[in-house]
Amino acid sequence: MSEINKNYLNLAQNYLFPTITKKVGEFKADNPDEEIISLGIGDVTRPLPKACISALHKAVDEMGDASSFRGYGPEQGYDFLINDIIKNDYEASGIKILPEEIFVSDGAKCDVGNVQEIFAKSCRVAISDPVYPVYLDTNIMAGREISKILCKEENNFNPAVPDFKADIIYLCSPNNPTGTVMTREDLKNWVNYARINKSVIIFDSAYKEYVRDSSLPRSIYEIEGSKEVAIEVRSFSKTAGFTGLRCAYMVVPLELKGTACAKDAISFNTLWRRRHTTKFNGVSYIVQRAAQAVFSSEGKQEIKELINYYMQNAKIITEGLQAAGFTVFGGVNAPYIWLKLPAGIKSFDFFDLLLRQARVVGTPGSGFGDGGEGYFRLTAFGSMENTLKAMERIRGLKL
């Protein structure tokens, strides 16, 4: 028998969301006639923008014509998409990113999970608690030393710069699961820490489109000197409804360097290019054309309406929970609402209670780490009708 990667034995038995799906499935089997509302996994419910649908149709027709058919594309993404990403997501905010620094992929989850492969096993990783479980699980799989930074309510759940040296740091803003957003000052502190400690920050800004307060940063590259210390991950999933279509991108700056055997200045960009071109054959042409359409004027208008729709849900949830007596975080510049449970109620117990009494599915805070115990996450990605219905049911809860 072949020996397994024993690090896998250190993982929780299942990934968080399949665990939730299983629990809901069991409940449904026992209660087949009940209407269950899911505000659990952060999956979008609105259809794709029309601009993306038109681009998809056009691209499909091109693929059916011998003169415009395309086989393998560039692994790191087509120029048409990369150039539009740079122009709209960076140049428009005064940030200079080069085409060779962008890598288009099929999802931010894959990117944040895979990127750790270009770091040594000996790297010490710093992760917030609570946290998006992919950062944690993928580093457990790799067998790295992981240090948790407890994020507390008093600090708006922002991770404080630690008093130890971490080689890799994962930051997520707007945050999944807490829905809170790091300020420019918070990010400056982290960039400063990373420059002093020669660490690399993996900055997950998959929810950047939900930041509507212009004083809050959407990109880590808004902070001076950050290109020397940060990789940024972004996605079309929550911005444009691509959870089922799959497209994201990662920025690996040319300035970002690591070391090997005391040899300085090895480019992470070169390593990631090598990894990406070896293990990935690129996002399909038709999907990249759909992603490009997000940056058209029609696309931009539709995205704005989409985000407004979900943020209206966030408001309904926030106000509904407050009216029901809960203390609530997030939900203002983020699609996640993080509610504090009454003292003594465990988050998985609340999950069961909410499902049994209200037929509403949420995500237990402790699923995001011990630091999430006593809290619970709801998403704004449901339909408005269901969100309103869910809040009405939650108001009737008997705790």
Assign 145 to helix, strand or coil: strand
Distance of CA 169 to the CA centre of its chain: 15
Q: Are 193 and 200 contacting, i.e. CB atoms less than 8 angstroms apart?
A: no
Q: Choose one: 37-45, 74-82, 148-156, 291-299; the region binding ligand MLT (CB under 6 A).
A: 37-45
Toward ligand MLT, which CB reaches closer, 42 or 320? 42
Of residues 122-161, those binding ligand MLT (CB under 6 A): 132
Q: Degrees (nearest 5) of the Cα angle 378, 382, 387? A: 75
Q: Tell me how crowded residue 390 is: count the other CB atoms within 10 A of its CB.
A: 26
In the structure encoding, which two tokens stand for residue 65, read together? 């014509």
Q: Are 379 and 335 contacting, i.e. CB atoms less than 8 angstroms apart?
A: yes
| 109 lies in the binding site for ligand MLT (CB under 6 A) | yes
Closest distance between ligand MLT and the C-beta of residue 42, in Å? 3
Judged by CB under 6 A, the residue of 37, 39, 42, 390 near ligand MLT is 42
Phi and psi for 186 in degrees, rounded to 5?
-60, -45
Toward ligand MLT, which CB reaches closer, 199 or 366? 366
* CA distances, 182 to each of 119, 355, 381 (Å): 26, 32, 22
Residue closest to ligand MLT (Cβ): 42
Q: Choose one: 41-49, 57-65, 145-153, 195-203; the region binding ligand MLT (CB under 6 A).
A: 41-49
Q: Tell me how crowded residue 346 is: count the other CB atoms within 10 A of its CB.
A: 14
Closest distance between ligand MLT and the C-beta of residue 268, in Å? 23
In the structure encoding, which two tokens stand for residue 12, read together? 């929780």
Of residues 157-186, those binding ligand MLT (CB under 6 A): 176
Residues in contact with ligand MLT, total (CB under 6 A)? Answer: 6
Closest distance between ligand MLT and the C-beta of residue 76, in Å? 22
Q: What is the rounded CA–CA span in Å between residue 112 and residue 233?
A: 7
Q: Choose one: 40-48, 215-223, 274-282, 322-330; the region binding ligand MLT (CB under 6 A).
A: 40-48
Q: Choose one: 35-43, 117-125, 223-231, 308-316; the region binding ligand MLT (CB under 6 A).
A: 35-43
Interface residues with ligand MLT (CB under 6 A) are 41-43, 109, 132, 176
